[in-house]
Amino acid sequence: MSATRPPAARRATSRMGTPNPFGKAPKTRTVMAPEGLALISRIPPRSERLAAFLLDFFLILAADFALLTIPFYIGDFSSSLQWTIVLFLTFIVNNAYFIYFELSWQGRTPGKKLLKLRVVNRHGGELSPFSVVVRNLTRQMELLTPTLLWSDGPDNLLVNVALPIVWFFGITLLPFWNRDGLRAGDLLGGTLVISSPRAELLPDLSAPSGDRLESARRFSSRQLSIYGNFELQVLEEILRKPVSDIPRATLWTVARKIAVKIDYPLDPELTAEGLRLFLTDFYAALRAFLEEGRLYGRDKKDQNSPPASGAA
Amino acid sequence: MSASSLAAPGEAARPDAPWLHGEAKREAPNGVQDGAIRSARFRKGREESWRRLETLLAKLDKKGLKALSAPETIELPRLYQIAVSSLSLARAIILDRRLLAYLENLCFRGYLAVYGPRETLAEVSVAFATRGFPAAVRSLKIYILAAFLVYAAGILAGWLQVGRDINHFHRVLPPSQSQIQVSDSPQELLANEIFPPFPGFERTFVVFANFLFRHNAQVAFLSFALSLALGVPTVLIAFYNGEVLGALLSLHAQKGLLLPYAAWLSIHSVTEILAFVLADAAGLSIAHKILFPGRESRLKALSRQGREAGVVMLGVVLMLFIAAFLEGGARQLFNHTGARIAVALLTGSLWLAYFRYAGKERP
């Protein structure tokens, strides 16, 4: 299978494979793009799947309700012919809704679109329209089989009582029993539902504005070889926060900690703005240093790892 | 697409690319050049094409594939490939968390757009009817044979049981579920069951056909769905359906009505029973893959077979739709044994020809 689980050790890490200092890491799964690149997708929590389904279900119910009630107001509804046509139309709506939207909205239904979910091919590559058909035909069976069997009455203990219960727990609740939240329909169709929220391209912190070019602080290799990728990215998250969110006291704590560690003479009189400039300069220099190390195959994960560069 | 955005990934591969020869440019401290560190320059050179891809993706998201002009549809996969190569480079080197997150996301969205489903519902329907369905049926040959044998065994069992003692009929089909009784005389059967007066177009072609369709589709779905229980219920249901059929045939044979009853039955049953056999075969193929996945992993074998079986099930639903029209309407309309047999033969040979030849690739 080309879609592989990240090994256990990577599960607690973020999408970049570096430790995520900010809360619980989202569940991910890689999908192999035909270009040979393993793309990382986020597995949505089951609550999002359920919410999307309930939304779609509500829309279908609303359509059925409209189909079943509107004819009452526009004419004689006693004829069984009209009744049958309406029933047939609801049959079409109920069965074609998911298939139609997942085909024409690229793996999304209105509910999925709202929750930013998508259906993709679990094995990588194009999402076949037949996969879409299969995963949605199965949906009816997953949900309705227990109720159909149950509603036949308790004539047969095995078929009308035991089977629906086993079915409900084994098939209907299947998404709760596997890590990727696969329904029986996903198993049969070879599909996977992933979460694809949009990420913004934020400004590069290392790119200083014009007049900072000359005055940017310089750091020695020895000073830069103390910290690793993890600390760099923690610093990035701090600097990315809105200016007003970080009081001078916090900036001072961070800057002083760094200054002491790398033995840099930091002016205690610096304003919040000045401290921010110091941190930005250090960030840019550290990033350039660590990235150069990576370029030559010397990766320093955090401050406890062995040195990234031969210079240290 | 502008020339500069196309040049961006090429730049990285050129022998004089600063990326690959960072060591030679030692003059600036810490890889800083023109006031920007290396990864900032990497970003600068490609950002335009990323933004362009983002614009196209947003357009696609909002209005669908048709919103893109012809040049844009050519541009999209190229921009996607630029983004993918940016990502693989960035993953190896760049430490800007947010930039990486952005590229991961952009590439994934590009991947979804480039490899998303392209067909419309109409195109899928045509492909399904002309190629997908008959091809999927052909791939189930061995399972169809198995399901057919189970059916035949059921028919034989029903026929033999009722043949030995006509009163065994209600052991197969309880009186509560049967519209006919053992005590019915041949005249009653002919007048009420086999040649009833035509109740009108609406009641037959629409109301009754609709009921039959929904009922039969449910039975077929159930039989298929139960294949997940390793196929045992599927086989039992197929056998029982055959048994009922055999019992009914035997009952009518003993009242001297075998031919008119068989004609009455076959006008729709050729299509209906074929559909049931296909549903059972699809279910059996799933059960087979669950038990014996072969060389592939169980999940992969299941999803591959599942797709085939799902295609067959969709076809089964359509066949049952046709069968319902024949049963609910045509049977009442053609109040003549010969005409009914003719329709049965015609539909039977049409189905066979369709499954045998439709969508087959010519050598």
Which of A32-41, A271-280, B155-164 is most confident? B155-164
Measure the CA–CA gap between B222 and B283, rounded to whole angstroms. Answer: 10
Q: Check residue B350 and give its pLDDT.
A: 94
A197 pLDDT above the threshold of 80: no
List, as ranges, residues 209-268 from A with C-beta within 8 Å of B: 210, 213, 218-219, 224, 229, 232-233, 236-237, 240
Which of A101-105, B253-257, B353-357 is most confident? B353-357
B216 pLDDT above the threshold of 60: yes
Which positions in chain B touch A165 (Cβ < 8 Å)?
none
User: Which tokens go with A83?
Assistant: 């009744």
Q: What is the mean pLDDT of chain A?
A: 78
User: Could B51 and A41 be called an inter-chain contact, meaning their C-beta atoms sit closer than 8 Å?
Assistant: no
Q: Check residue B269 and give its pLDDT.
A: 86
A135 vs B186, higher pLDDT: A135
The residue among A33, A34, A42 whose CA lies nearest residue A6 is: A42
Among A15, A93, A103, A233, pick the best mutation site for testing chain B contact (most B Cβ within 10 A): A103
User: Which tokens go with B112?
Assistant: 């979804």
The residue among B221, B215, B223 whose CA lies nearest residue B240 is: B223
For chain A, domain boundaries: 29-195, 212-295
Task: Give yes or no for A281 touching B (CB within 8 A).
Answer: no
Q: Check residue A168 and give its pLDDT.
A: 86
Q: Check residue B10 and give its pLDDT.
A: 39
A246 vs A53, higher pLDDT: A53
CA distance B160 to chain A (A): 26
A312 pLDDT above the threshold of 50: no
Give percent of chain B above pLDDT 90. 17
B313 three-state secondary structure: helix
Task: Answer for the pair B30, A289: CB distance below 8 angstroms, yes or no.
Answer: yes
Q: Report pLDDT digits (tens) over A13-26.
A: 334 444 444 555 67
Distances (CA, A) of A33 to A121, A179, B231, B328: 10, 21, 35, 50
Q: Check residue B168 and give its pLDDT.
A: 81
Q: Report pLDDT digits (tens) over A209-240.
A: 545 555 677 788 888 888 888 888 888 888 88
User: Which tokens go with B148?
Assistant: 């057919």
A28 three-state secondary structure: strand
Measure the CA–CA gap between A160 and B326, rounded to whole angstroms. Answer: 32
Q: Check residue B345 and give its pLDDT.
A: 92
User: Could B50 and A201 be called an inter-chain contact, meaning their C-beta atoms sit closer than 8 Å?
Assistant: yes
**Poorest-pLDDT segment among A118-122, B65-69, B71-75:** B65-69
Which positions in chain B touch A206 (Cβ < 8 Å)?
36-37, 39-40, 96
DSSP B183-251: T--HHHIIIIIISPPP--HIIIIIIIHHHHHHHHHHHHHHHHHGGGGTTHHHHHHHHHHHHHHHHHHHH
B14 pLDDT above the threshold of 60: no
For residue A162, count other CB atoms closer than 10 A to its CB: 12
User: Which tokens go with B280?
Assistant: 């059972």
Q: Assign A151 a pLDDT band (cuts: 50, 70, 90).
A: confident
Q: What is the mean pLDDT of chain B?
A: 79
List the single residue in A79, A189, A233 with the smallest CB-CB distance to B306: A189
Q: Check residue B1 and give its pLDDT.
A: 39
Q: Check residue B20 and give its pLDDT.
A: 40
Containing A187, the helix (H) or strand (E) segment is: helix A184-189
Which positions in chain B touch A233 (Cβ < 8 Å)?
95, 97
Spatial strand order in the sheet of A28-32: A28-32, A38-42, A191-195, A117-121
Which residue in the block uniquely carries the two structure tokens 């600036």? B28
Measure the CA–CA gap between B353 and B358, rounded to whole angstroms. Answer: 7
Q: Which residues pair with A42 in a beta bridge?
A: A28, A195
Measure the CA–CA gap between A62 and A238, rounded to whole angstroms. Answer: 47
Measure the CA–CA gap between B343 and B348, rounded to whole angstroms. Answer: 8
Q: How many CB pairs under 8 A join A and B?
A: 234
Q: Angle at Cα A241 formed by Cα A236 and Cα A246, nearest 5°?
A: 110
CA distance A96 to chain B (A): 10
Q: Check residue B189 and give its pLDDT.
A: 73
Q: Assign B147 a pLDDT band (cuts: 50, 70, 90).
A: very high
Measure the CA–CA gap between B258 and B314, rounded to whole angstroms. Answer: 33
User: Could A134 and B91 be called an inter-chain contact, meaning their C-beta atoms sit closer than 8 Å?
Assistant: no
B307 pLDDT above the threshold of 70: yes
Among A82, A194, A209, A295, pick the best mutation site for testing chain B contact (most B Cβ within 10 A): A295
List the single residue in A103, A106, A289 with the smallest CB-CB distance to B112: A106
Amino acid, single-letter form, for residue A56 = D
Give percent of chain A above pLDDT 70. 83
The residue among B55, B38, B114 whose CA lies nearest residue A39 is: B114
Q: Check residue A200 and give its pLDDT.
A: 80
List the single residue in B22, B35, B107 with the smallest CB-CB distance to A208: B35
Q: Report pLDDT digits (tens) over A169-182.
A: 888 888 888 888 89
Among B30, B54, B120, B325, pick the best mutation site for testing chain A contact (most A Cβ within 10 A): B30
Sign (positive or negative) of CA dihedral B7, B12, B17, B18: positive
B182 vs A77, higher pLDDT: B182
Q: Check residue B52 and give its pLDDT.
A: 92
Q: Report pLDDT digits (tens) over B76-114.
A: 889 999 999 999 888 888 888 888 889 988 998 888 888
Helices (runs of H) and strands (runs of E) counted in chain B: 16, 0
User: Which tokens go with A247?
Assistant: 């009081």
